[in-house]
Amino acid sequence: MPATALDSLIFRDIFSTEAMRRVFSDEQRTAYYLEIEAALARVQGRLGIIPGEAAREIEAKCRIENIDLNKLKQQTERIGYPILGVVQQIVAICAKGLGEWCHWGATTQDITDTATVMQIRAALDLVEADMEKIAAALAGLARRYRLTPMAGRSNLQQAVPITFGFKAASLLAAFQRHRQRLAQLRPRVLVGEFAGAAGTLASLGADGLNVQAALMDELRLGQPEIAWHTVRDRIGEVACFLGLLTGTLGKIAMDVKLLMQTEVAEVFEPFAEGRGSSSTMPQKRNPISSLYIHATAALVRQHAAALLEAAVADHERSTGPWEIEWIALPEIFLLAAGALAQTRIMVEGLEVDVARMRENLDMTHGTIVSEAVMMGLGPYLGRQRAHDLVYDICREVALTGVPLIDLLARNPEISRHLGRAELERMVDPANYLGLAGDMVDRVLASERKDRG
């Protein structure tokens, strides 16, 4: 009976995705166990460590259809770990006692950790695919709205004009950094484990490192320089990466939520019939994806903390911290997948109201460009005098509603230096965008370079 939002028939495709659930399913995890056991037998048979006949028989039997998952559940509850149950089931169906060579020289954690790394590899491929789709959508927004003025905001107040393309490009730049992080962490993280009871490979003697190298080659994983049974920085690094990535997703969701407010109404999540409707207020169009992104991203950060806690392990084989990973690692990926999926839906269909952006720029009657006016008057009046004068005029605008341009043009101290036409150019938000367009271009150039 499903009991959480991640396995609920109703909620599971809101908070996660089918593809990510498949990676961390009982069936796929057990299939990875079997893939490792088959590869181990194949390698050891080739190296003459176990009989070739046994290697072939074990490899042939290491198929998920040969595992009774209900029986494995019972075995795991009795033993405490699933690996021995898997091995026992394989041994039982191998011919002529050949199965006794299965799992030769390995320990439970070797198989478990290596399967976990294989899950991480598959999960990161899914994460990367969604990252690229989101980056492409952000690049499209940055390109299309490169010079579209909007209000930049500081402390939730209008600050100075920016462009919507600038906002999109700043988020795209974060995705470019996440892409770099992912490429850098893969060689460190995608490393298997095969080290025996306490990590020394004593059970295989001089053959241990040869078996380890060949096994990792078969599984397309990196070979560890030394056992990492209780040194868990690899798992912690993945967790921190997902925390950073979903933090950026949360930032996107936060801005979209705020920009969707009735009083702002500059962008909207994609429209679909009934989406975001209220049971009591028919006029409402609530943010939906943004809410789910916010919730999942927050939980990813909590799970990242749990996976860092799992790094504090005792001696060479731990008594409990390891099991934290069994719970938190699948959930952090499932939640991250949900956040990525919702973000992709949102940015690929984002609705942008350019006219409303301009209306909001004008709602302060020109004071959003008070910095531009101050800097423009500085060479004539001195910076401090320009600041004080513009401050007083802005206060008058706020009190009276008279447009800034009118008060500037009628001020004798200003009008002796600048005419109305010059002042109108000065107070046009489209003329105070700084180097926003150039910065957008730099990010888009990096994106083209990253994509080859």
Architecture of domain 12-357: Up-down Bundle (1.20)
Query: Which residues 6+ apart lie within 8 Å of 278 measured at CB?
Result: 284, 286
Rounded to whole angstroms, the Cα distance separating 140 from 134 reads 10
Residue boundaries of the structural domains of the chain: 12-357, 364-431
| Closest to 381 measured CA to CA, from 414, 419, 425 | 414
Which tokens sit at 212?
């380890």
Cα 111 to Cα 69, 99, 121, 320, 325, distances in angstroms: 18, 17, 15, 17, 15
| Phi/psi-derived region of residue 269, left when phi > 0, alpha when psi is between -120 and 50, beta in every other case | beta
Ranges of beta strands (E only) in 110-266 are 149-154, 157-163
* pLDDT band at residue 282 using 50, 70 and 90 as cut-offs: low
Task: Give the helix/strand (H/E) hosting 352.
Answer: strand 351-352
**Tens digit of pLDDT for each residue in 96-137?**
889 999 999 999 999 999 999 999 999 999 999 999 999 999
The catalytic position among 220, 278, 410, 451 is 278
- Measured in Å, how far apart are the chain's first and last C-alpha atoms? 47
The predicted pLDDT at position 278 comes to 58
DSSP 8-state assignment for residue 222: B
The predicted pLDDT at position 449 comes to 82
The catalytic position among 56, 285, 317, 385 is 317
Min mean pLDDT across 151-155, 281-285, 418-422 is at 281-285
Phi, psi (rounded to 5 degrees) for 215: -65, -45
pLDDT of 277 strictly over 60: no
Average pLDDT over the chain, rounded to whole? 94
Residue indicated by tokens 């690929």: 348
pLDDT of 335 strictly over 60: yes
Section 357-386 average pLDDT: 93
The predicted pLDDT at position 285 comes to 78
| Closest to 164 measured CA to CA, from 432, 436, 359 | 436
Which tokens sit at 412?
């004798």
* pLDDT band at residue 49 using 50, 70 and 90 as cut-offs: very high
Rounded to whole angstroms, the Cα distance separating 233 from 307 reads 9
Rounded to whole angstroms, the Cα distance separating 241 from 300 reads 10
Rounded to whole angstroms, the Cα distance separating 277 from 273 reads 9
Cα 144 to Cα 77, 393, 437, distances in angstroms: 57, 36, 11
Q: Would residue 370 show up in a list of annotated catalytic residues for this protein?
A: no
| Closest to 55 measured CA to CA, from 40, 69, 70 | 40
- With H, G, I as helix, E, B as strand and everything else as coil, classify residue 160: strand
Which tokens sit at 190?
């995608």
Query: Which residues 6+ apart lie within 8 Å of 41 measured at CB?
Result: 50, 54, 55, 58, 59, 62, 101, 102, 104
The predicted pLDDT at position 271 comes to 80
Rounded to whole angstroms, the Cα distance separating 317 from 113 reads 12
The predicted pLDDT at position 150 comes to 97
The predicted pLDDT at position 272 comes to 75
DSSP assignment of 102-116 equals TTTT--HHHHHHHHH
Section 22-28 average pLDDT: 97
Are 257 and 206 in contact, with CB atoms under 8 Å apart? no
The predicted pLDDT at position 276 comes to 58
The predicted pLDDT at position 3 comes to 86
Are 216 and 286 in contact, with CB atoms under 8 Å apart? no
Which tokens sit at 355?
């006219």
Q: Position 158: which residue type?
A: Q
The predicted pLDDT at position 448 comes to 87
* pLDDT band at residue 274 using 50, 70 and 90 as cut-offs: low
Q: Would residue 232 show up in a list of annotated catalytic residues for this protein?
A: no
CATH topology of domain 364-431: Ribonucleotide Reductase Protein R1; domain 1 (1.10.40)
The predicted pLDDT at position 411 comes to 93
* pLDDT band at residue 87 using 50, 70 and 90 as cut-offs: very high
* pLDDT band at residue 69 using 50, 70 and 90 as cut-offs: very high
Report percent pLDDT > 70 for the chain.
97
Q: Position 3: which residue type?
A: A
The predicted pLDDT at position 1 comes to 83
